[in-house]
Structure 1
Amino acid sequence: MNGDTGQEGIYDAVIIGSGPSGAITAHALALAGFRVLCLEQGDYALPSDYAANFDMWELVARGHWQAEPNHRRNPADYPLEVSETDLAPSMYNAVGGSTVHFSALWSRLAPSDFRVRSLDGVAEDWPIDYAELSPFYDEVDNFIGVSGLEGDPAYPEGYAPKMPPMPLGKHGMKAAQSMNALGWHWWPHSNAIPSQKIGSLEACARWGTCTQGCPEGAKASFDLAYWPAAIKAGAKLITGARVSNIVVDETGAATGAAWIKEGMEYRTRARTVVLCANGIGTPRLLLLSASEKHPHGLANSSGLVGKNLMLHPNCAVFGYYDEDMESWRGPAGSAVSSMQFFETDPSRGFVRGAKLHACPTPGLLMTGIDPHRLLKFDALWGQNFHKVLREARNSLMWGANIDDLPEESNRVTLDPNLTDTDGIAAPKIRYRYSDNTLKIREFTVARMVDIHKAGGARKIIEVPDLQGEPGHLLGTARMGSDPKTSVVDKFGRAHDVPNLVISDGSIFVTGGSANPTSTIAALALRNAKELIRNLKEGA
C-alpha cells in the first residue's frame, strides 16, 4: 500500500518479510482484530512478467528470474558473499517471498525429524513434536487447498490433503512402476497447487513452469494464497521497504523497525516485532541490530544467531527412455516421492537420509543441455546435439533433498566490506558439505541410478551437485527450551527479547529431508496464535 508510511501510531505488530510466515502471521493477527503492518523489501511479481509467458522462457528465467540473488541483481536484492560456500543460497525478494519461485512441493517433516538427538545421538531434539504441529499443518493445507492422497505410510494416520492428487502422468507412472519393481516406498506427492479451484487460486493446468511463475494463477505462492485475504482482513503491506535494523529501548525490548524506501528513512513503532526474513535475512537483521543491551546482536546471548545454517543440498539423476514421457507436463515439482531412505540405517555408514522425488523435465535447457554439460564435449555438439533435443521429451529426473544436519561452522555473518544499495552490510555465507552429507549424497545418487535401471532407462546422467537449488534456508536462529543453546522458545519468542517473535525457517532445529515450506507455514500459524493470545492478555 503505497500511501502508508508506517508512521500511523503504534501497531500491535510489525512483520518483517512477506513470505509464507509473514503472510500467515499478518492474516491471523488481522483476523483477530489487531493492527498489523508488514514491511517487504521487494514488490509484487506481476504475472505478466513471469518467465513462463515468453517463448524463450528458459532464457528469460536465467535473467531477472534467476534463483540466486548474486546472478539476478534485482533492485530488491541484497548481495551475498559466497566465496566460502559449497552451495550458493537461493532466495527471492518479493511479496510472497521465495514461494514465487518454489515448485510447490508440499511435504511434512516426519515424527523422527523432531527427535534426532534421542534417536540418532546427533544434533538436538525440537522442543515440540509432530503431534503438536499436526493441527497447524492441517489448517494451512485446508486454507490453500493442498492436493494429495490420504494414507501415505511414511506419516502417521490423519494426514489427509483436502484436494484430490494431481495426475501422475506418463513420467509419474514410469517412476511408480520402477519403484514397484524394486519394492520401495512411493506415494503421489502432495503439492501446494489445487487440482480444483479454491479461493483466489485456479485449478492446475499442468503448464510445468511452476518455478518461473504460474501463468494460470494456480500455484499457492503466498502473494496469491494468503495476502489477498490478509489485506481484506485489515493487514497493511508496504513494498519496497528495506529494514535496516530492529529498534530497541533502554531496557533492550523491541519497539519497532527502522527502514528505508526510495532513499527516505522511516521508523515504525510496534508492541511486537515478528521477524520473517528467511534463514539468511533474519540472522543478518539480528546482527545488524546490535545495541548496548545486545552487544553481539539482538537475541544473541547464546552466540547461535547465524550459526547452524542448513541448505538442503540437492542431487539428481536424469534418465532417458524409449517411450514418450510427456515430460513437459506439470506440476514441475514432483509426481511421485519416496521416503524409503529418509530414516537412519546404521549399516549405510551415516545418520539420517534423503527424500526422493520424481519430476518432469520441462524445457530443452533443463532436459537436454544442462545435464549433458557434465559429459564430454562431443556429447552436446554436431549430430549429438540434435539427438539430445529429440530424446528430451522422453526424460525423467529423480531428485533428492539431503538431510543437512546442523553444524555451527556453517553460518551467516556480516561481511565487513560488501553492502547492499542502501549501504547496509551484506551477509557472508560460510557453508561446507559435511562428511555425513557427502555419504548420504553418494548413497542417494546410487539409489536413483538403480531406479532408472529398473525402469529401463537407456541413458543415465548423474548430477551429484545440483547448484541453484533448492532455496531452503534453515536453522540460524533455532528454537529450544534452554536460552544457552537456542535463540527462541517453542513459540518463536526470543529468549532475550520476549516481544520479538521469529517465525521463518531460521527457527528449525534440524532440517529433515522434506521440503520445508509446509513446516515453516505450520510453525508460523502456531506462533501467530500464541502471539494473539498474549496480545489479548496484554502480555
Structure 2
Amino acid sequence: MPQTLSADIVVVGSGVCGALAARKLALAGASVLMLEAGPRITRDRIVHNFRTSPFKSDLSKPYPNSVFAPFPDYAPENNGYLEQAGPYPYLPQYLRVVGGTSWHWAAQAWRFVPNDFRIKSKYGVGRDWPISYDDLEPYYNEAEILWGVSGPPEMAKYSPRSQPFPMAPVAKSWLEQRVTDRLAPQFEVLTNTCGRNSRSYDGRPACCGNNNCMPICPIDAQYTGGISAQSAEQAGVKLIPQAVVYRLEHDAKGRITALNYYDWNKTSYRVIAKTFVLAANAIETPKILLMSASDKFADGLANSSGTVGRNLMDHPSNSLAFDVDEPIWPGRGPQSPSSIQQLRDGAFRSEHAPFRIDFSNSSQVASVTAEAIAEGLTGKALDSAIRDRAARRLSIKNVLEQLPDPNNRVMLGEGRDALGLPKPKFSYSFDDYVHRGMGASTAAYEQIAQMLGGTNLKHSKPGQYSNNQHICGTLSMGNDPTTSVTDSVGRAHDHENLFMMSTGVMPTLATCNSTLTASALSLRTADAILGKL
C-alpha cells in the first residue's frame, strides 16, 4: 500500500506559476503541499556548471537531468525524451527542477495588448479568451510586484497600466542606445520590460551586465522560479522534490479524491486533499491528465472536450544577422535588452501573424571567430576580423504569434522513462498565417539593416523556424466545455475541485513571452480557489 499524505491543497509543479499561487494560498491560511518531479538546485552549482560546460549555447546543459524526471537535452546528442510524429519537429527546452524552467530564461515580462484577448472577434482568426485585458490587469500588477519588474513608462501605450512599474528600466547598453537613436525615424525601440533589477529590490542586487542572463544570472539580479519556490516555503508551503506524479483518482461524481506519485526509488505515495492544482508546464500537465484515464474517463481526465493536449503553440522565429556600419559593442549588459512593439497589433492580423522584433546584445566573439576560421583566416588577419566583426555584428529576430490548431498536440508516446511512465509525443506544423508573418518580418529586417548601414546580411534558412520555448495551449480555457479544458478561472470543466495554473491554459499566445501572463492567471485562479471571484 502506498504511503498517504494530506493537505487542504496540493500543487503539482514548483515553477513560477505554481509557487506564486501556493504562496498566496498558504498566506490565506490553507495547508499547501507542493510536489516537484525534479531535484533541488543551487545557484552556485549551476553557475559553476555553466562556466565549465563545453556546451555554452545549450541553455539546459548546466542543470541536472535525471532519468527519473527527464527533460529534453539536445547536446551532444538528443536524449530521446520527446517523441515526434511530424510533420515538423517540435524541440522545446524546459527543466524539471525546483523552481522550474525560469531558472534559464531571459525574464522578459511584457503584458498582452488588449486586442490579444479578442482576436477572433476583432480580426476573424484564432479564438477569443473568456476574460478581457481589464479582468487580468490587476493580476499583472500583482505579478510584477512579486517578480520585481523593470520597464519604461512608454510601454503603457501598448498595454495600459493602473500602476507604474516597480522599477525603472535597466540602463541602456551602447548597442541599445545606438540602435534606438538610429531607428527612431521609423521604429520605436523600447527597453524591454523584464524581471531584472535596475536597483536593489527584494534583497537582490541590481543587474551589473554579466551578459549570461541565459542560462543563469550569476548574482541573482534576475527573477527566477527558484525565488518563487523559496518564497512559497517561507509562507508555509511544504515542498517535496523528486516527486513524480503519475495518476489522479476521482469519485463517481468526477471529483478528484487523490493523486499518486513516485519518488526516485519508485516508492509510491498517495496524497489526499480538498483541492488539486496542476501547475506543471503545458507538456507535462496534459501528460498527467492522459495517464489518469479511467473507466469513467477513458480519454483521460478533464478531456470530455477531446482538447487536452491539443492547440499546442510556441513562438516560431526567423532571424537576420548583419554588420552595422559602426561599432556597437554587443556583449555588455542584458542579452536581450530592447525590442520593437509596434508590429504586435493592427488590422494586418486578419491576414498574417503579428510579431515583436527583438535585438540581441549577446557577445558575438564565439560566432564571428568560428566564421573567420572557417574562411581560412589566421594570424593578424584572424585577430583583425574577430575584433571588427565582434564590435559590429547585430542579430535580430521576431517573436511571432502562432494560432491554435487542434492538430498541433501533445500525446502519450510509445517509449517509457526509467519510472515506466510514457514519454511525451508531438504532432506539430505551421500554417500559412505563420509563413506570411515570417515574410512580413523579413521585410522589416531588411529595412532595419538598411537604416543601420548593414552589410554581410545573413538570413536564417527560409521555412526553418526556431522556437522560443514558450510552450502554450494544450489546456485552453474557455466558456464552452465542448471546446476547452478549463473555465475562465482555470477550473477543469469536468472536475469541480481540479484547477490548472500553467501557460497551457492560455487560448492564444500573442507576441510576448508567456510566463508573466500565466503568473497573472495563476494568481487570479488562487483568488478563485479562495472564493474571492
Q: Please give the TM-score of this superposition, normalised by the length of structure 1.
A: 0.90
Quote how far apart the aligned CAs of 1:175 are: 2.1
SS class of match (1:134):
helix
Q: Which of the numbers 377, 382, 386 marks the counterpart of 1:382? A: 377
Q: Which structure 2 residue ranges, 5 or more long, are not aligned?
A: 66-70
- Which residue number in structure 2 is paired with residue 170 of structure 1? 174
Quote how far apart the aligned CAs of 1:329 are: 1.6
Distance 1:12 1:45 in 2: 27
Quote how far apart the aligned CAs of 1:229 are: 1.9
Q: Which of the numbers 161, 168, 184 marks the counterpart of 2:165? A: 161
Tell me the percent identity. 30
Quote how far apart the aligned CAs of 1:240 are: 1.1
Q: Which of the numbers 341, 359, 366 marks the counterpart of 2:343? A: 341
Distance 1:53 1:244 in 2: 30
Q: Which of the numbers 481, 484, 491 marks the counterpart of 1:483? A: 481
CA contact under 8 A between 1:21 and 1:521: conserved in structure 2? yes
Q: Which of the numbers 472, 480, 487 marks the counterpart of 2:470? A: 472
Q: Which moved more, 1:242-251 or 1:125-134?
A: 242-251
Once the two structures are superposed, residues 467-491 of structure 1 have per-residue CA deviations (whole angstroms, 9 ceiling, x without a partner) of: 6641111111100111011110000
Q: Which of the numbers 14, 27, 44 marks the counterpart of 1:31? A: 27
Q: Aligned in 2, Cα 1:438/1:454: closer, same or farther, shift over 3 Å?
A: same
Alignment of 1:381-530 (within 5 A): 381-383=376-378, 389-390=386-387, 391-415=389-413, 417-463=414-460, 469-530=467-528
Code of the residue aligned with 1:254 in structure 2: it is I
Once the two structures are superposed, residues 486-517 of structure 1 have per-residue CA deviations (whole angstroms, 9 ceiling, x without a partner) of: 11000000000011101101111111011111
Distance 2:106 2:48 in 1: 13
- Which residue number in structure 2 is paired with residue 202 of structure 1? 205
Once the two structures are superposed, residues 206-259 of structure 1 have per-residue CA deviations (whole angstroms, 9 ceiling, x without a partner) of: 1110111111011101112x2222111100111111111222223321123211
- Which residue number in structure 2 is paired with residue 358 of structure 1? 359
Q: Which moved more, 1:424-433 or 1:53-62?
A: 53-62
Does 2:38 align with 1:42? Answer: yes
SS class of match (1:71):
coil
CA contact under 8 A between 1:15 and 1:39: conserved in structure 2? yes
CA contact under 8 A between 1:52 and 1:209: conserved in structure 2? no
Distance 1:442 1:45 in 2: 42
Code of the residue aligned with 1:359 in structure 2: it is S
Quote how far apart the aligned CAs of 1:21 are: 0.8
SS class of match (1:151):
helix
- Which residue number in structure 2 is paired with residue 243 of structure 1? 245
CA contact under 8 A between 2:335 and 2:360: conserved in structure 1? yes
- Which residue number in structure 1 is paired with residue 68 of structure 2? none
Code of the residue aligned with 2:415 in structure 1: it is L
Quote how far apart the aligned CAs of 1:435 are: 1.2
Code of the residue aligned with 1:340 in structure 2: it is Q
CA contact under 8 A between 2:36 and 2:244: conserved in structure 1? yes
CA contact under 8 A between 1:54 and 1:60: conserved in structure 2? yes
Code of the residue aligned with 2:212 in structure 1: it is T
Count of aligned pairs: 517
Quote how far apart the aligned CAs of 1:58 are: 6.1
Does 2:274 align with 1:266? Answer: no
Alignment of 1:173-188 (within 5 A): 173-181=177-185, 183-188=186-191
Distance 1:362 1:55 in 2: 15
Q: Which moved more, 1:521-530 or 1:449-458?
A: 449-458
CA contact under 8 A between 1:144 and 1:194: conserved in structure 2? no
Quote how far apart the aligned CAs of 1:386 are: 5.1
Distance 2:287 2:125 in 1: 27
Quote how far apart the aligned CAs of 1:151 are: 2.9
Distance 2:375 2:272 in 1: 58
Q: Please give the TM-score of this superposition, normalised by the length of structure 2.
A: 0.90
SS class of match (1:393):
helix
Q: Which moved more, 1:379-388 or 1:120-129?
A: 379-388
Code of the residue aligned with 2:205 in structure 1: it is E
CA contact under 8 A between 1:52 and 1:215: conserved in structure 2? no
